[in-house]
Every structure is written in structure tokens, then in C-alpha cells.
Amino acid sequence: MSRSSKRRGVLIGVMLSAVIGGTVQPAIAAPVRDAGDQATPFRKSPMRSTEQEIARALSASLRDPQWREQVRAAALGTEDVDLQALAGRTAAPEGKNLFASVSAADRRIAGLKGLPASTGSLLRVRLGAPSMRSHLNAEVTPWIAVAAADDTAKNITAYDSQGHTHAVDTARVPDRPLYVLDIDVTKAHRAGLKVLQKAFADEGLASLPSKAANSADATSAAGWWATKVTAVEVNDDQEPWFKGTAEMFSLVTGFGQDGTARVDSVDMPYLDYDGTVYYPNQILVNWSNYKYNLADVVMMEDDDGTNYRALAQAITTALLTVTDQGTYIPLVNAVLSAIPDSWFTDDPDYVESWYTLAQNSSGRLNGASGNGWMTVEPYFVEEF
């Protein structure tokens, strides 16, 4: 896919002091002895190995005509197929045999992402590109590929039902239909934000929603001042066809009323496309939570490699070392320094940052890296 197609899903959590259209040509995929040796190097990880293991097992299971037809019908009927659920309700022998492996893989992936076991199934299967629909007939046995972690990968590895591997060009959509195995990033992201918020609250860097609602410091008798986002746009480079949906999030951080660094997350699920202006009219900052009239914003994009527990630990460790010196101190550098270097290279996790947002900020605010902008205005939230 490219950036004018549906973006990999979007969340924005803002940290204060705190991707598709192009025309593609058909390509021929060449069989290789080990496509992984020919593909662009990616960051090795246990999660990657887990996905590849399931991709190989799924490709082999498609030798069963009954199961293959059920997968085909599901892929044509919905954008993302819950693999565990599909395998769990099939009567086809190969599908039933796959269920235990997929369930175990889902649990392992949740753990690797720092998510609770209650998160449930995460592995999803989808058709590689819309143009493949016309080629996906009952006689064809599609290959299975795992979406590359690196957007700049030249090839991705696909597995056929006979156990062979193939290097598929990421720059052009292949003629042969294939399924892409990926993570349900939207589901993982929502669960991950809860992990982040709880971790921040446990360290005194934020309040859980139930506590915040009853806090005497959270609101005044008449209401509270907020910063509202009236328009937002993010621009990014072209994204390859094999990429699925992702979630963008920002963490809002500044100093709380008690002088301790504070970080809050804001969800913006409507941000579906790059290069598109959205008009959310969404509350970004509740200024009654902050001691100083300044804060900063960092926007990030989630992908299937994000470990929320590790991210929360890195951010809290960094912020807990920053002390209130009686004046506002930007926290963006502390947050960005806590993020692994790989998040700024192989993955598009860091998107944009905004410094020194104030209660009276209004109009267009360009991001520090030139990759996005938003317009904001002060907004008073009145009590009933």
C-alpha cells in the first residue's frame, strides 16, 4: 500500500515537556532457497520469529481445500481476519490443527508487547492488496507473507503450501494473490494505552480516569480551561503495499500540580490517512492538571513491534529524574531520550513533536520536525 490507502490506524497521545496512493505495477516473485537472506535486513525479534512460524504453518494448512476456501471467503468478506477465531470455529482438519498454535502465538505476542493475557487474539490475516481480489479464486493457493518491520525493505518473504520461500518485491504488487499475516495494531494499541496510563499512575505521573474525575484539583467549581485541536494533518513518505493498519498516539506531559512530571495519553482514532486534514474538535490538554502554563507534545505511531511495558518503564524512569525547579522545564528531550534509537530508524514510531504549548495558544502550530501541524484554540469546559 502507499500513503493514500488507509493509514495503519491512528492514535495521538500527547507528551508535553514530553501512512497511502500511488500507482503500482505487477511484479514477478522469484523462488529462492532462503528469501530471508535476500530480503532487506530487519530487526530480529522473538515476535518476528513467532509471526514467521505461524505464517509457515498457515501456508502449509492451505493444502486442505475446505480450510483454504474458508480462509478465502473470510479474506474477501472482511479487511482483517481474526485467525484464532477462524481456526477455532472450523471443522476442517488443517484449520482445527492450527488453532492451538495460533492461540499460543497470540499469548506470546501479547507478552512480548507488554500486554496482559486478557488482551486476547492479536494475529490477523488479510489480502495483500485490493487488486488481488480478482485473482483469488478457489483454484489458487495463496502464499503467506509477514509484513516487514522495516518500511524500506526491498523484499518480504512469502511461504507457499509446499514449504518453499519466495522473495516478493515490496515496491510492486505481485500478480499472484497472497495473504499478509500481521498484528491487530488497533486492538494492541488500545490495550497498550491502558498499560501506559496505569504505569504512569502507579509512579505518580498521571491519574487513572476514576481518580481524576473525583479529584478536587482536577476541576474548579465552574469548570476548567482546555486546549482543543480544531484541525490536524500528518505528512509521511510513501508506505509500501504490504503494510497494514497502525495506531498513532501522543503523550501529553508537563509538571502536575504537585510539581511531579506528568504524562497523559490522548486517543485520535480518526487519523486514517496521511496528507489529509482532519477537524476533530477534540480536547488535547486539561490545564487544571498542570502547574505551569506551558507543555510539550510528542506524536508517535504504534507498530507491531511496540512493547508498551518497556516504553512505560523507559518514560517513567526518564521523567522521575526531572525535578521541579520552580519554573517550567521542557520534558520533550527527556522523553525522546528514553525511546530506543531503533524507533527513529527502522520503524516510523516517532512522528512529530510540539514544544511550549500554552493555555492561550491558538492558530496553526507547526511540528518541530516539519512532519505535521495542528490548529488549536483555548476552550473552557463548563460544569453542569
Nearest to 322 by CA among 217, 212, 205: 205
Prediction pTM value: 0.66
Could you give the CA distance from residue 304 to residue 43 in angstroms, rounded to a whole number? 12
Shared-domain flag, residues 136 and 212: no
Residue 25 within any structural domain of the chain: no
Q: Same domain for 94 and 177?
A: yes
Half-sphere CA count of 374, side-chain side, radius 13 A: 30
pLDDT bin (cut points 50, 70, 90) of residue 13 is very low
162 and 294 in a common domain: no
Q: Which of 184, 203, 227 is the last residue of a domain?
A: 184
Which pLDDT score, from 0 to 100, does residue 51 have?
A: 94
Q: Mind listing the pLDDT tens digit for each residue in 115-169?
A: 998 999 999 999 998 899 999 998 999 999 998 766 677 889 999 999 999 999 8
Indicate if 194 and 100 belong to the same structural domain: no
pLDDT at 8 over 50: no
- Selection from 37-41, 122-126, 266-270 with the highest mean pLDDT: 122-126
Higher pLDDT, 263 or 104: 104
Same domain? 213 vs 327: yes
Domain-terminating residue out of 184, 199, 220: 184
pLDDT at 283: 93
Predicted pLDDT at 66: 96
The whole-angstrom separation of Cα 200 and Cα 262 is: 8
Name the pLDDT band for 102 (thresholds 50, 70, 90).
Answer: very high
Reported confidence tier of residue 265, pLDDT bands at 50, 70, 90:
confident
For residue 84, is it within any domain? yes
Indicate if 175 and 206 belong to the same structural domain: no
* In a shared domain, residues 90 and 204: no
Is residue 128 in some structural domain?
yes
pLDDT tens, 305-329? 667 777 777 777 666 656 566 555 5
339: in domain: yes
CA 137 to centroid of chain Cα atoms: 32
332-365 pLDDT, tens digit per residue, is: 566 666 565 554 443 447 788 898 899 999 999 9
27: pLDDT strictly greater than 50 = no
pLDDT band for position 240 (cuts 50, 70, 90)? low
pLDDT value, residue 327: 55
Query: Tens digit of pLDDT for each residue in 197-238?
Result: 788 778 777 665 444 444 444 445 689 999 999 999 988 644
Q: Are residues 196 and 175 in the same domain?
A: no
Tell whether 1 is covered by a domain: no
Do 179 and 196 lie in a common domain? no
Looking at the fold, whether 137 and 221 belong to one and the same domain comes out as: no
Question: Does residue 19 lie within any of the structural domains?
Answer: no
Instruction: Report which of 62, 32, 51 is spatially closest to residue 166, judged by C-alpha positions.
Output: 32
Residue 30, amino acid:
A
Instruction: Specify whether 358 is located in the same domain as 323.
Output: yes
- 176 and 195 fall within a common domain: no
- Predicted confidence (pLDDT) per residue in 40-91, tens digit: 333 457 888 999 999 999 999 999 999 999 999 999 999 899 999 999 999 9
d(C-alpha 333, C-alpha 335), whole Å: 5
- Gap between the Cα atoms of 51 and 44, Å rounded: 12
In a domain, 226, yes or no: yes
- Compute CA distances 158 → 50, 98, 134, whole Å: 15, 18, 20
Select from 151, 184, 217 the last residue of a domain. Answer: 184
**Does any domain span residue 22?**
no
Q: SS3 letters for the chain?
A: CCCCCCCCCCCCCCCCCCCCCCCCCCECCEEECCHHHHCCCCCCCHHHHHHHHHHHHHHHHCCCHHHHHHHHHHHHHCCCEEHHHHHHHCCCHHHHHHHHHHHHHHHHHHHHCCCCHHHCCCEEEEECCHHHHHHCCCCCCCEEEECCCCCCCCEEEEECCCCCEEEEECCCCECCCEEEEEECHHHHHHHHHHHHHHHHHHCCCCCCHHHHHHCCCCCCCCEEEEEEEEEEEECCCCCCCCCCCCEEEEEEEEEECCCCEEEEEEECCCCCCCCCCECCCEEEEEHHHECCCCEEEEEEEECCCCCHHHHHHHHHHHHCCCCCCCCCCCCHHHHHHHCCHHHHCCCCCEEEEEEEECCCCCEEEECCCCCEEEEEEEEEEECC
Count: domains in the chain: 2
- Expressed as residue numbers, the domain containing 207 is 186-382
